[in-house]
Amino acid sequence: MGHQVGIIGGDGIGPEVIAEALKVVRAAGVQLDTVEYDLGGTRYLRDGTILPDEILEEWRGLDALLLGAVGTPGVPPGVIERGLLLKMRFELDLYINQRPFLYPPNNVDMIVIRENTEGPYVGEGGVLRKGTVHEVATQGSVNTRHGVERCVRYAFALADSRPRRHLTLVHKTNVLTFAGDLWDRTFSEVAVEYPGVSTNYHHVDAACIYFVQSPEQYDVVVTDNLFGDILTDLGGAVSGGIGFASSGNLNPARTGPSMFEPVHGSAPDIAGQDKANPVAAILSAALMLDHLGEGAAADRVRSACADTATITGSTREVGDLVVARLSH
Ligand code: IPM
Ligand code: MN
């Protein structure tokens, strides 16, 4: 029996890139038993449902989830993001968002570990006197010792397993003094347990400069949910483009399936045109293979994707090329 994987193609280019990712995984010799789920903005516009509870419960028994992209014009901002993506991250306790960037032409070889269940993403806050001159909007950021510590611990263990053994904390401790202090103290305390890992700290604004000017200095970077969201788009931009950026939403405690998805969105403007870059989805599937204990296949898929930033071709042609490279 193969690994039980739930597939959410989603909207826009999502189904196209996922088709290529599945083609590559199968060509790499990994057996998957897939179940497809029709979810996303298109479904929402059709019947008003986003993520029925039965589906969420069904997922708890799976080994992993692979998602293309969700989001459709015509759906108000936040509906699908909160109702599907963030609900998955919160309900399945996918507390690590692991986003690797490997791009030799820019000397980039880093992994950003983004906390994935807290920060401003929790949706704390509200609005008063909406539409009046006295309107008030608050949006809180939740940072718990438990949430920060498990994320920081994961990042230290990962850094310790890599040759350079270097970990950078990114935050904004000079302004976000409450959350920043919690992150900074937790980081320093866990660091004591990892004497072999060298550490440093960058304010997030400075990190934006360094990501562009000297990304080679980073090995593993750990940061909060929102900073991680922003920094990883930048990471994609300096690593060949967002079309190559992969991610794993991980539940390292394995109390449920982890979810793998490209960093990019549904790109409705090019949907259905066989134009989308499938490499981010293929590399996300490789992260899934790592998680499923198929590390050798994952490495083969990654090698087959090397240098794909230098080629041009349609979605399917790029998928076929990666498949062809696997057999060598
Ligand atoms: C990402 C996306 C999501 C996020 C959105 C779509 C909710 O931008 O995965 O980076 O902000 O986390
Ligand atoms: Mn993002």
Contact 155, 100 (CB under 8 A): no
Contact 99, 234 (CB under 8 A): no
**Residue whose CA is at the smallest distance from ligand 1 atom 6:** 81
From the alpha carbon of 97, which atom of ligand 1 is closest?
A: 9
Q: What's the CA-to-centroid distance between 195 and ligand 2, angstroms?
A: 33
Q: Which neighbouring-strand residues pair with 223?
A: 114, 170
What is the Cα–Cα distance from 285 to 262, expressed in whole angstroms?
9
At 44, which amino acid appears? Y
CA distances from 155 to 86, 134, 161, 224, 318 (A): 21, 43, 10, 12, 32
From the alpha carbon of 247, which atom of ligand 1 is closest?
A: 9
Residue among 154, 150, 143, 309 at smallest CA distance from 236: 309
Q: What's the CA-to-centroid distance between 233 and ligand 2, angstroms?
A: 6
State both tokens at 293: 């204990």
CA distances from 5 to 16, 35, 83, 310 (A): 17, 6, 21, 31
pLDDT-based confidence at residue 1 (cuts at 50, 70, 90): confident
Pairing of strands 258-262, 64-69: parallel
CA distances from 129 to 134, 135, 136, 241, 279 (A): 6, 5, 7, 42, 46
Q: Would the CATH topology of 1-94+251-328 be identical to that of 100-105+116-242?
A: yes
Nearest ligand to the CA of 116 is: 1
Contact 260, 284 (CB under 8 A): yes
Which residues are tagged catalytic?
Answer: 121, 172, 205, 229, 233
For the chain, give every domain's residue range.
1-94+251-328, 100-105+116-242
Q: Could you tell me the pTM of the whole model?
A: 0.97
The predicted structure's pLDDT at residue 288: 98
Q: Is 229 touching ligand 1 by the criterion CB < 6 Å?
A: yes
Q: Is 263 touching ligand 1 by the criterion CB < 6 Å?
A: yes
- Please write the tens of the pLDDT for every residue from 3-51: 999 999 999 999 999 999 999 999 999 999 999 999 999 999 999 999 9
Which CATH architecture describes the domain 1-94+251-328? 3-Layer(aba) Sandwich (3.40)
What is the Cα–Cα distance from 67 to 50, expressed in whole angstroms?
15
pLDDT-based confidence at residue 327 (cuts at 50, 70, 90): confident
Q: Is 69 touching ligand 1 by the criterion CB < 6 Å?
A: no
DSSP output for 298-326: HHHHHHHHTTGGG----HHHHHHHHHHHH
Q: Give the residue-averaged pLDDT of 122-144.
A: 98
Per DSSP (E only), the strands in 80-165 are: 96-103, 108-115, 125-128, 136-139
CA distances from 249 to 56, 127, 166, 246, 325 (A): 16, 30, 22, 10, 27
**Residue whose CA is at the smallest distance from ligand 1 atom 10:** 229
Choice from 8, 82, 85 to test ligand 1 binding pocket (greatest atom count within 8 A of CB): 85
Q: Give the residue-averaged pLDDT of 52-58.
A: 98
From the alpha carbon of 233, which atom of ligand 1 is closest?
A: 10
The predicted structure's pLDDT at residue 328: 65
Residue among 210, 285, 244, 198 at smallest CA distance from 104: 244
Residue among 73, 120, 110 at smallest CA distance from 234: 110
Sheet with 64-69, edge to edge strand ranges: 32-36, 3-10, 64-69, 258-262, 246-250, 96-103, 108-115, 220-223, 166-171, 198-203
Q: Is 94 touching ligand 1 by the criterion CB < 6 Å?
A: no
State both tokens at 127: 């609005």
State both tokens at 294: 């198929």
- For the domain covering 100-105+116-242, report its CATH number: 3.40.718.10
Q: Which neighbouring-strand residues pair with 66?
A: 7, 260
Q: What's the CA-to-centroid distance between 235 and ligand 1, angstroms?
A: 14
Choice from 81, 223, 233 to test ligand 1 binding pocket (greatest atom count within 8 A of CB): 81
Mean pLDDT of the chain: 97
Q: Is 85 touching ligand 1 by the criterion CB < 6 Å?
A: yes
- Please write the tens of the pLDDT for every residue from 268-312: 999 999 999 999 999 999 999 999 999 999 999 999 999 999 999
Q: Above pLDDT 70, what percent of the chain?
A: 100
Q: What's the CA-to-centroid distance between 194 and ligand 2, angstroms?
A: 30
From the alpha carbon of 265, which atom of ligand 1 is closest?
A: 6
Q: Which neighbouring-strand residues pair with 69?
A: 10
Contact 280, 232 (CB under 8 A): no
What is the Cα–Cα distance from 18 to 156, expressed in whole angstroms?
31
Contact 222, 246 (CB under 8 A): no
